[in-house]
Structure 1
Amino acid sequence: MNKEKEIRTLDSQIEIRAEGDDGENQKIVGYALRFNSESDNLGGFVETIEQNALEGADMSDVRALINHDAHKVLGRNKSGTLKLEVDDFGLKYTIDPPDTTYARDLMESMKRQDISQSSFAFQIDYENEGDTWEYNEDRDLYIRTIKRFKKISDISVVTYPAYSEASSTIAVRGLEDYKSELEEQLNKSKLLIELDL
C-alpha cells in the first residue's frame, strides 16, 4: 500500500478573530478536517473520517501554510504560533500569523471572502488498517473510510480546493488495489466453484 502524503480540502468557513482589548492581535481560526462528514466525489469515490482517526497520529511538528507552500509559513505548533485542538467536530486550528506581507495580504483576501477554505496534508496509518474501501451499488461509487492517520504534515489556508483528481492520485491507487483484491477474490471463488463441479 502506498504511504505517500495526500492532501484534502474542507469547504468550511475560516474566521479572523481579534483578541485583546485593542483588537489588534488577529488570529486565523478554522477546521482542517471534520469527522463523519462525506467529501465531494473524488473521482469515483468519496471519503469519510472516523471520530477517532487522529488518535495516535503524529502531530508533533505541524506547520500552517498558504496553499501548502513551505515558503509561506503562517505558524507552527512547535513554536506555539499554531494551536491544534481535536474536538467533537474535527481538527480545529488557531494561527497567530506573522507580521509579513504575505500574511497581511492573505488576511485582507479572507476579510473580502476571496479565500475561505482549509486543507490538510496527511499520511494514512496503513500498518494499523488505516482505511477501508467499500463499494456502494446504489450510488455506483466507492466509499473510503479513514480510520487512522499516521501523520498530519501541515494545515493550509487555500485558494482552490484540493478535492481534484490530481490531489487524490494516491487514494486512487488505494482504490485500484482494493478493486484488484476484489477481482482476485472473485476469481478464486469462481475457481473453487469450478473445482466442486
Structure 2
Amino acid sequence: MERRASSELKPKGRKLTGYVARFDEPTDLGEFVEVIRAGAFTRTLAAETAGAIRAIYEHDGRALLGRLGSGTLRLSEDATGLAFEIDLPDTGLGRDLAHLVERGDVAGCSFGFLPVRDQWTEANGRPVRELRDVDLFEVTITAAPAYDATSVQVRGKQPRSIHLARLYLEACQ
C-alpha cells in the first residue's frame, strides 16, 4: 500500500470570519452618526501597502492575530460590507479568543483607518458622516464594537469524518 501526504487534506486550524464593516448601516457615535458606503475600502485593499493591514484584538498592536501580507488575514468587499477571514494563531491568545467568540463574549469588530474622502450631511437634526474612501490599517476583534452590525464567528477544523474519507479516497487512487 502506498501513502502520500497532501497539505490540502490536512485539517485546517480555527478561523474567525465575519464582517468588519457593513455598508449603509447608520451607527450612532454620540456626537454624530456614521455610515460606511460601498467601495470605501476598494482603493486601500488594492494598494501596494495593503499587505501591512493587520488583524488584532481590542485595538492592541501587541495582540496580533494575522496580517494581509502573510496570508493569515483575508479581506474582501461584497454587497454587504468588508468581509474577513483570519487564520487564528496556535497561541494562548488565538485559543482564548476562539473560546470567547464561541461563548458570545466577543461578538464584534472594529477597524482603524484614516479618512480619505468623507461627506458630511445632516439628518433629523444630527450631523451624518459618510465614509466613502478610507486608508485602512487594522481590523480588530472586540467585545465593544462601535458598529453594532459587525459580526465574528469561529469556523472550526474540518469534521474528522470528512478528513478520513478524503484520506481513504487518496489511498485508493
Give the TM-score normalised by the residue count of structure 2.
0.72
Determine whether 1:92 maps to 2:83: yes
State the alpha-carbon separation in 2 of the partners of residues 152 and 44 from structure 1. Answer: 22
Name the SS of the counterpart of 2:29 in structure 1: coil
Deviation at 1:55, TM superposition (A): 2.6
CA–CA distance in 2 between the matches of 1:117 and 1:161?
A: 5
8 Å Cα contact 2:51-2:67 kept in structure 1: no
Q: Which amino acid aligns with 1:104?
A: R
Q: TM-score, normalised by structure 1?
A: 0.64
Q: Which amino acid aligns with 2:32?
A: F
Off by >6 Å, runs of 4+ in structure 1: none
SS at match of 1:108: helix
Aligned to 2:35: 48
- Whose RCO is larger (CA < 8 A, sep 6+)? 2
Cα deviation, 1:83-109, whole Å, max 9, x if unaligned, reads: 111111111110001110111111111
Task: Give 5+ residue unaligned stretches, structure 2.
Answer: 1-7, 148-173
Equivalent pairs counted in the alignment come to: 136
* Cα offset, 1:47, TM superposition: 1.1
Deviations 1:124-159 (A, max 9, x none): 11xxxx1111122xx22111111111x111101102
Question: 1:146 aligns to what?
Answer: 131
Give 1:21 deviation, angstroms.
7.1
Q: What's the counterpart of residue 101 of structure 2?
A: 110
The match for 1:36 is 24
Corresponding residue of 1:171: none
Partner in structure 2 of residue 194 of structure 1: none
1-structure distance, mates of 2:122, 2:12: 51
- Alignment-mate amino acid for residue 34 of structure 1: R
What is the match of residue 159 of structure 1?
Answer: 143
For 1:22 and 1:81, locate their aligned partners in 2 and report how far apart those are by CA, in whole Å: 17
**Residue of structure 2 in register with 1:123 after alignment:** 114
Q: For residues 111 and 82 of structure 1, what CA distance do their matches in structure 2 show?
A: 19
Q: 3-state DSSP class of the match of 2:82?
A: strand
Whether 2:120 is the aligned partner of 1:133: answer yes
The one-letter code of the counterpart of 1:152 is: L
Give the partner amino acid of 1:62. Answer: I
Q: Which whole-Å CA distance do the structure 1 matches of 2:35 and 2:52 have between them?
A: 24
Bigger proportion of residues as strand: 2
Helix, strand or coil at the partner of 1:143:
strand
CA distance in 2, matches of 1:29, 1:106: 13
**Which ranges of structure 1 fall in alignment gaps of 5 or more residues?**
1-19, 164-197
Which residue of 2 is the match for residue 7 of structure 1?
none
The aligned amino acid for 2:139 is I
One-letter amino acid of the structure 1 residue matched with residue 23 of structure 2:
F
